[in-house]
Amino acid sequence: MPHHFHHPRDRDWQHRASCRGTDTEMFFSPDGERGNVRAQREHAAKQVCHNCPVLADCRAHALTATEAYGIWGGLSENERARLIRRTRLPARPRECGAPPDPLTWRIRTPRA
């Protein structure tokens, strides 16, 4: 279990969340939910998150704890996964100044 779960004060933000007392079904997809029904439910959940006073805390928790399901911090599972992938991917060689892939990089040498 992650260390931060052992300290109740680390989760005090949850007591101030706009979703507190809201039916959790709004934030978590039932099995088999797809298409417009899912999009509408997620939109409604994100509306609750929109002006939440602890949005940043909730989002940070979801990203740190890698919450696999539900709307957290105004982000769906797919949005969090994309954000995590984007922040973990190394920069392309041209962007960070590293040489290109040695398997595809041709070294041009002068001919004698």
Burial group, residue 46, by CB count within 10 angstroms (0-12, 13-18, 19+): middle
pLDDT in the model for residue 98: 55
pLDDT in the model for residue 96: 53
CA-only gyration radius of the chain, Å: 21
> 13-39, pLDDT tens digit by residue?
999 999 999 999 999 999 999 999 999
pLDDT in the model for residue 5: 43
Query: Helices (DSSP H) in 19-110: which residue ranges?
Result: 35-50, 55-64, 77-88, 93-96
pLDDT in the model for residue 100: 52
Q: What are the φ/ψ torsions at residue 75 (nearest 5 degrees)? A: -120, 140
Q: What's the CA gap between 72 and 68, in Å, rounded?
A: 10
pLDDT in the model for residue 7: 42
Supply the pTM of this predicted model.
0.68
Output the tens digit of pLDDT for each of the chain's 112 residues.
344 444 445 678 999 999 999 999 999 999 999 999 999 999 999 999 999 999 999 999 999 999 999 999 999 999 999 998 888 766 555 555 555 554 544 444 455 5
pLDDT in the model for residue 101: 52
